[in-house]
Structure 1
Amino acid sequence: MKTTIFPPANTIADKKHISAGIGNILSLILAVNYLLAFVLLLSTSVHHGHGGGMGAGPGNAINLYMPSFLILFLLLILFHLISLFQVRLPVRLIVVIGFGQVISGTLALGLLLFSRQSLSLLQTVYPGTTLLIISLALSILSGMVMIIKQVRHGHFFEIKSDSRNISAFPLPMNRYKNVRLIGEGGVGAVWYAERIGDGVPVVVKVPRRDDEKTGMSFMQEINIWKDLEHTHIARVFSANILPVPYIEIEYLPGSVAELNTPVQLEQALGIIRGLVSALMYAHARGVIHCDIKPTNILLTAEGIPKLTDWGLARSGSSRWSVEGFSPTYASPEQRKSHPECKFSTDIWQTGMVFAELLTGKADIPSGKEPVFLTEKGSLILSILQKCMAIDPTERYPSVQALSDDLSHIIIRE
């Protein structure tokens, strides 16, 4: 598989969080500094206005430069306060804020450095003029960093929100043909395409939003998924984040969500066996899927199941995000005020999918459904009840244990 080599996702996330934290502290300090200068200048202006005449000297400087400084400092305060939330902001707004900091800071710094009257005015009013000059330089620098960061990462070239139009497909059209949109979610858009070089049909997943949080989530998905090679896991052909983030995956024509449930016991067992096999492989590598549901279990033309969409997966100590949460299949621990995703979470969700395949309903079975009223059915019911125990410690201790019980049922067929 061809792909860009990335450092571990949790390492990237930790560095990003540290960098964002330092940036926020700096922005807050600068905003407070400008607020102090703004208040002192404003109080001086009011006091001078009440004092009556506007003679020569300081009075002229106040008349000439005071409004400019007040406006520029107010803008800088606003820009730095808004930048505290840039992780959640659209890229174009981040770039606007960056330009705002650069322009406002440059104008204020120019007034101070190239006008003796304005410098004299500020020194009279604000004792820390040198600190203010340093602050303005830092504002200009941080604004430039914000702009360069977005452009360098390709984020400024925003993916069009109208993804139903083929012109919204963000990758070069000389690489693919017969491109069409086949699915959309809260975070990503999924396209069918055929590679021009070899004619192989593929699925291309791209993020719909271009904010930093989505980018981090997409990068983590790439880092996890690219190393998972298993018969029952959808294969990644290539992936990258520059200039446009994307994952190219094998095309599979169907999914469990398209089946008319309930299905025959043999078919349900075949799907669940494949799913459990994929989870045994992933769990052995410390990867938890966290979002097992019918739409994420694809089917080959022969009906072989393959687990896809690792966007909510976690690996090792990586943080779990509840973005794109699937409430119907969520385990109790995912619904808590402080949500968690554990290995036992995948077991719960597997049980929920199994129950839906057998009963047609995504719910904990009552045991009165016809499929459970036989000897074999009662054994399956006990498996489902153990998968979907409210207390995670009462579920199967591992997917291997679940697989062992499933194999006993298959042997009895």
Structure 2
Amino acid sequence: MIIPEIRSSPEISGFLCRLLLLSLLILLIPGAASGASVYVGGDDGFPDIASAINASNPGDTVIVSSGVYAENILIDKPLTLLGNDSGKGTPKIESSFGDAGIKINADYVSVKGLIVSGNADSGIIVRGGNITVSECDIQSTPSGITIYRSSDVTVRENTIRGHEVGLFIDESEGCIVYLNDFENNVNVRCLSPGVVWYSPDREYIYKENSFNSPLGNYWNDYVGIDGSGDGIGDVPYIGYSDDKVIVPDRNFYTVNGINPSGGRIFPGHNFVEDNYPLISHVSYYILPPPGGFSPGEGGREKPDPVNGSRLPDNNSRGEFPGLNFSQPVQNPPPVAWLSGVSPVEVVVLMLLMSGVIAGMLDLVGGYREVESSGSRIRRNGIKFFYGGYIAIAVAMLYSVVSYTSRLIIRNIDYGIIQVLFIALTTFLIASSALLSYNFIKGGVPVLLSRLHAPLAAFGFIYFFVSLYTAPVDLGPLNSIIYPVSLILSICLPLLYFYIYESSPQKSVKEEIISGFHPEIVSSDTVVVSNYDHTTVFDNEYGIMGSALSGSYFPECLGERYYGVEFIGKGGIARVFKAVRRDDGEVVAVKVPINFDEVTGRFFMKEMRIWEELSHKNIVRLNSVNILPVPFVEMEYVVSDLSESEKPLPLKETLKIIEGIAEGLSYAHKLGIIHRDIKPQNILVTKDGTAKITDWGLGKMISDGHETTVVGFSLNYAAPEQIAPRRFGVPDERTDIYQMGVVFYEMVVGMRPFFGGGVGEMTDEIIHRMPMKPSENRLSDEPFDRIIMKCLEKMPKDRYQNIGEFLSDLQHLKDILSSQGEI
């Protein structure tokens, strides 16, 4: 059946699937920036912090459990790195030689609750804006914390000890340092006069008395006294004098371009003046919980501000120029009409609206099938298009979130032009995502693809208009990504129309397996391969008595077996019946067809899967050997299901199908699927027990890898094996479908599909539901529901696991038993 070139509209369910995919894209990418949690350590977390940071999205919180992490960490995106004592102590970063244990090269980063030590030149290096380092214990590196070329950095409630230099700050602006314990050879070197060394006015308890005052830092080299008993020194802490020379163990600052040449590490003035230095370690100062102390808490009422507070009554911006303690430094006040709305929320809402509009255009605008088989260039071209569109969507998503963030957070005066530009960008993101999805599914929405290029061209011009009317510093990366992604959005649809618009459309029957060249090696089996097959004789059963027998059954195995008979051949191996010389037991011996590397690799893969299985309904492996040649010995079963005359008696049918289901259920619980259930692979013992054999197409679900040899028996193939783009990749439900075909054949006496050739057969499997068993024989009506559910086209409509099938099968047996049928 030929698919028409243009369909007036795709199915509603297809539209819903595309809308769902778009929603997932929205939630997974920008939504993550609103604060998802990524875990390190424990049973389910990442094994190391660097991997968790690489997998996180901007705005995420990376939570590090107790443990020692031997690594140097780079933070290059906005996020929170949070240590969590999960019962075994504070998590510790043990750095190796390098710049820093933690290197921050991004804005809006928070690091909290970690121990940082090791062999790096610095515990933490900060280079960014709106950074917070809090509640960390930074130990025994040449430099504790280094801040350079940064702004609005907060360092609070840390222990910084055992360093040559505890804290170094270059000309960075807007920094605030308070409530830290400094115990170092030289505690601080600061080249910026704008650093604030104490907190805003706050309530606290010291030696059971409550006070209200700013709080500075504890300095182990402070020599002042506390005459008032409030825990704060009477004279400011100034730090070392200008003529002191400091030479760290390693010339870290020279490496990072901070140290001026000339031999002295820190020439010039040291701008350190902590007006509220702490007499004791920070732990001696009890700070209030949220909401403040309860009345009477702390031993006495708060002192009069004149005597107990060192902060003037007017605690305004004039006291700390450039800082506003009434709001967090990391969150400057937003534009009034977007008050309380984050940039990510703006983008998400616009994406949702744009997604609905793009989905409607997808639904009503016509749909064209795109043929992906044929030449390698054509197949790779399709991959290029769906990869290109998804890359554009991701790049533009990053760009629009960054653009919107800079507009809102930096208080840039903007208007309707910028809002419309954000809306246009989100529409192009939604359109790109839908176009990519459709290319993956083998088609393209006509109207949406034709609108995409002109809208992108308009967006490219509008981009510069938007920047002209509301100048935004996009940064070096975003300044390139944004316009380039818009240019690609123009070029990609035009390239598609140039290459594919006039191409004739072909039947879906050519979509057997994308990326491989199928060849029919038998009437039932389609095998696709990227290596040559060995030519074999048409009739192999008589070969063992000829001079060529050694090329089929290796002569070196004659020492183990005698009475060898050829009994069958699979995709990569032959099977022989043989008698074991040791004890005279009759066994089956499986030997690879070829002894080349490729065949050997797939043969051993099959054996590794098979070795995991031990069940009464799965053929037992006796031994797996690689010497003197690769071969496997297994139990010998007299016949297979294909040799039985069908339809089978009712009782025998139920026993066999239940055995197949039990064997598959066991394999599925181990994460193994068969993918080639057919009568030839169901052996039947003398007592009627079904045993599944030939796991050559089996796959470990958990390993995520696929072989380069893909195949299936066409008469028993599931739709997803023929058209994976449309129906999804094979999984446990593929085995359920194939089991349903075998069940159908045992009950009805013929297969549900019997097209005359590969094209007709694939068309039937993909498009036609078979007749019910009762339409062939009325007495088979009890089997209709259970068999037809196995044979649903879409995997989601079948039984979702073997347990559901066995439950219905038991119910069917109970009904038949009550009717006296079995």
Taking structure 1 as the reference length, the TM-score comes to 0.58
Q: Deviations over 1:131-190 (max 9, x none)?
A: xxxxxxxxxxxxxxxxxxxxxxxxxxxx99677233231142111110111112342111
What residue number does 2:607 align with? 222
Which one of the candidate residues 368, 373, 388 is aligned to 2:778?
373
CA 308–243 in structure 1, closer or farther in 2 if over 3 Å, else same: same
| Alignment check: 8 A CA contact 2:578 2:589 kept | yes
Q: Give the distance between the partners of 1:284 and 1:304, measured in 2 at CA.
A: 21
Matched, 1:336 2:741: no
What residue number does 2:796 align with? 393
What residue number does 2:682 align with? 297
Q: Give the distance between the partners of 2:724 and 2:736, measured in 1 at CA.
A: 21
Q: Give the distance between the partners of 2:582 and 2:741, measured in 1 at CA.
A: 41
CA 194–393 in structure 1, closer or farther in 2 if over 3 Å, else same: same
Deviation at 1:269, TM superposition (A): 0.8
Deviation at 1:217, TM superposition (A): 1.2
Q: Give the distance between the partners of 1:368 and 1:236, measured in 2 at CA.
A: 36
| Alignment check: 8 A CA contact 2:561 2:579 kept | yes
SS of equivalent to 2:606: helix
Deviation at 1:243, TM superposition (A): 3.5
Amino acid at match of 1:366: M
Q: Deviations over 1:111-134 (max 9, x none)?
A: xxxxxxxxxxxxxxxxxxxxxxxx
Which one of the candidate residues 138, 142, 167 is aligned to 2:550?
167
Q: Deviations over 1:246-303 (max 9, x none)?
A: 1111000011100000111211111000000001100000000110000000011111
Q: Give the distance between the partners of 2:789 and 2:640, measured in 1 at CA.
A: 26
Matched, 1:406 2:820: no
Matched, 1:310 2:695: yes
What residue number does 2:581 align with? 196
What residue number does 1:33 align with? none
SS of equivalent to 2:557: coil
| Alignment check: 8 A CA contact 1:355 1:362 kept | yes
CA 188–211 in structure 1, closer or farther in 2 if over 3 Å, else same: same
CA 321–397 in structure 1, closer or farther in 2 if over 3 Å, else same: farther
What residue number does 1:248 align with? 633
CA 314–321 in structure 1, closer or farther in 2 if over 3 Å, else same: farther
SS of equivalent to 1:389: coil
Which one of the candidate residues 747, 756, 764 is aligned to 1:358?
747
CA 390–399 in structure 1, closer or farther in 2 if over 3 Å, else same: same
| Alignment check: 8 A CA contact 2:637 2:685 kept | yes
Q: Identify which of structures 1 and 2 has the higher relative contact order when contacts are C-alpha pairs closer than 8 Å and 6+ apart.
A: 1
* Structural mapping, 1:262-301, within 5 Å: 262-301=647-686
| Alignment check: 8 A CA contact 2:773 2:781 kept | no
Amino acid at match of 2:550: S
| Alignment check: 8 A CA contact 2:572 2:603 kept | no
SS of equivalent to 2:738: helix
Q: Give the distance between the partners of 2:606 and 2:571, measured in 1 at CA.
A: 15
Q: Give the distance between the partners of 1:337 and 1:218, measured in 2 at CA.
A: 25
Which one of the candidate residues 326, 331, 334 is aligned to 2:713?
326
What residue number does 2:765 align with? none
| Alignment check: 8 A CA contact 1:352 1:362 kept | yes
Q: Give the distance between the partners of 1:400 and 1:196, measured in 2 at CA.
A: 42
| Alignment check: 8 A CA contact 1:358 1:371 kept | no
Q: Give the distance between the partners of 1:309 and 1:369, measured in 2 at CA.
A: 32
Deviation at 1:226, TM superposition (A): 1.1
Matched, 1:184 2:566: no
What residue number does 2:406 align with? none
Deviation at 1:320, TM superposition (A): 4.9
CA 384–310 in structure 1, closer or farther in 2 if over 3 Å, else same: same
Q: Give the distance between the partners of 2:632 and 2:570, measured in 1 at CA.
A: 15
Which residues of structure 2 form unaligned runs of 5+? 1-533, 753-768, 818-822
Q: Deviations over 1:71-101 (max 9, x none)?
A: xxxxxxxxxxxxxxxxxxxxxxxxxxxxxxx
What residue number does 1:97 align with? none
Q: Give the distance between the partners of 1:262 and 1:217, measured in 2 at CA.
A: 35
Identical counterparts, % of pairs: 40
Deviation at 1:368, TM superposition (A): 5.8
Aligned residues: 253
Amino acid at match of 1:373: L
| Alignment check: 8 A CA contact 2:610 2:695 kept | yes
What residue number does 1:205 align with? 590
Q: Give the distance between the partners of 2:638 and 2:773, measured in 1 at CA.
A: 34
Q: Give the distance between the partners of 2:618 and 2:684, measured in 1 at CA.
A: 10
Taking structure 2 as the reference length, the TM-score comes to 0.30
Deviation at 1:370, TM superposition (A): 5.9
Q: Give the distance between the partners of 1:314 and 1:206, measured in 2 at CA.
A: 20
Which one of the candidate residues 211, 222, 238 is aligned to 2:623?
238
Superposition RMSD in Å? 2.1
Amino acid at match of 1:381: D
Deviation at 1:340, TM superposition (A): 3.1
Q: Deviations over 1:27-72 (max 9, x none)?
A: xxxxxxxxxxxxxxxxxxxxxxxxxxxxxxxxxxxxxxxxxxxxxx
Deviation at 1:371, TM superposition (A): 6.4
Deviation at 1:210, TM superposition (A): 2.8
Q: Give the distance between the partners of 2:629 and 2:744, measured in 1 at CA.
A: 39
CA 161–242 in structure 1, closer or farther in 2 if over 3 Å, else same: farther
Which residues of structure 1 form unaligned runs of 5+? 1-158
| Alignment check: 8 A CA contact 1:313 1:320 kept | no
Larger helix percent: 1
Amino acid at match of 1:367: K
SS of equivalent to 2:558: coil
Higher gyration radius (CA): 2
Q: Give the distance between the partners of 1:269 and 1:228, measured in 2 at CA.
A: 23
Which one of the candidate residues 720, 735, 741 is aligned to 1:346?
735
